[in-house]
Amino acid sequence: MARGKTKKKGNARQKALDVHKKVASKIIEHLEKGIRPWNKPWKGGSLGFGFTDLPVSASTGKSYRGSNVWYLSLIREDNEYVDNQWGTFNIWKKKGEQHAKSIGSDEYFGVQKGAKAHPVVYWKKSRWIEEDEKTGEETVRHSFHPKYFMVFNRAETGLPPIEKPKMTKKEEKKKKEMAVIDAEKIFDKMVEDLEIDFRESKQGRAYYSPSQDYIHLPNRDLFKTAEGRVGTAFHEAVHWSGHSSRLDRDLSGMFGSEDYAREELVAEMGAAMLCMGAGIEGKALDEQMENHAAYLQSWLKAIKEAKDGGAKFINSSASKAQRACELLMPEVFGYEEKKKEDE
């Protein structure tokens, strides 16, 4: 089966690379300030309910994927946007018209003058069959083609903010406590559903053993907070997902190496996303990061030594973190088993 080429292919890939460089630049900017940008106090929402701070598409209601999550989250933070909805100019125009009709108004509620669009990238998978002219043997091939969109935050439109339930301080505290309890249940269910070998002991170290394929956490009373325990559990669960029998990431790197830095970045990003998906605050990741400064330096070193300014390093890590979340928390991130012909 012949496969056609388009003139815009190279241009689209260059645009996608430019977007990836923007993402890398934004993350580097925070790392140089000593801040892990994926460890922000973004408050999530319980599984499938309420509000979540994963940036979502105003068109589909689904959360964005990979590096788009971090880029849009940082843009939102920098501009202090209240809402987490993003959409193209046309999507907001349509929603604005619907809102105007619902209230009997002629006012324009779409994207407002002076608003700034931000790029997001979507990679579409193509699959085709190549036939050997001599043998007639057919081989399944696939490739990914980038598509990019310019999106605006809901706050850049004339639409009213999404209404969130008003709560007293006492109610907010109770909700937070319940969110942590729910997050612990989510991890327990994760262990049960995925048959994770999970161990606890008095040993004051959290880790995942690739050779023996098990997760170890210190006993519950050795953690400073319940959030810290759950965040640490999610961090190690992301490492667990990289085993050769699952997502098959390179887990052999030694501390200080690029491979080690990359895997820790995957685990950090993945754990932060799982925290958002489970409804607990990003500070849950603070507890297991005793070597905070050392990790920051290892990431900056690997990023700055890359020829493309760290774009591939960061975006590849974000993509792998996304895949880990899909496996570990399919209720939020979705997961589809890969078919053999797609491997």
pLDDT by position in tens, the chain (length 343): 344 444 445 576 777 778 788 888 888 887 888 777 766 544 443 333 333 478 899 999 888 888 888 888 888 888 989 888 999 999 999 999 999 999 999 999 999 999 999 988 877 766 767 777 777 787 777 666 778 889 999 999 999 998 877 878 888 788 788 888 899 999 999 999 999 999 999 998 899 999 999 999 999 998 888 888 998 999 999 999 999 999 999 999 887 777 888 898 899 889 988 988 888 876 555 555 555 566 677 777 777 777 777 888 888 898 999 999 999 999 888 755 443 333 2
Q: Beta-carbon neighbour count of residue 191 at 10 Å?
A: 16
pTM above 0.95, yes or no: no
Tokens of 305: 């030594």
Q: In whole angstroms, how far apart are CA 220 and each of 184, 229, 230? A: 11, 7, 10
The one-character DSSP state at 328 is H
Structure tokens at 184: 């612990």
Q: Is residue 194 a contact partner of residue 186, using CB atoms and an 8 Å limit? A: no
Side-chain half-sphere of 248: how many Cα atoms within 13 Å? 4
Q: Which two tokens stand for residue 259?
A: 């491979």
The residues, any chain, with a CB within 8 Å of residue 229's CB and separated by 6 or more, are 184, 217, 220, 223, 287
Pairing of strands 85-87, 56-57: parallel
> By C-alpha distance, which of 263, 247, 233 is closest to 326?
247
Token digits of residue 120: 């997001």
Q: What is the pLDDT of residue 41?
A: 42
φ/ψ of residue 58, rounded to 5: -70, -20
Cβ-based neighbour number of residue 101 at 10 Å: 10
The predicted structure's pLDDT at residue 46: 35
Question: Which three-class secondary structure state does DSSP give residue 73?
Answer: helix
DSSP character at residue 229: H
Tokens of 78: 């920098």
Please say whether the beta carbons of 236 and 215 come within 8 A. yes
Strand (E) or helix (H) holding 295: helix 292-305
What is the structure's pLDDT at 142? 64
Give residues with Cβ within 8 angstroms of 144, minimum separation 6: 123, 124, 125, 126
What pLDDT score does 45 carry? 39
Specify the pLDDT at position 342.
Answer: 30
Query: Can you give the pLDDT at residue 311?
Result: 82
Q: Which pLDDT value is given to residue 338? A: 45
Q: What are phi and psi of 243, to 5 degrees?
A: -55, 150
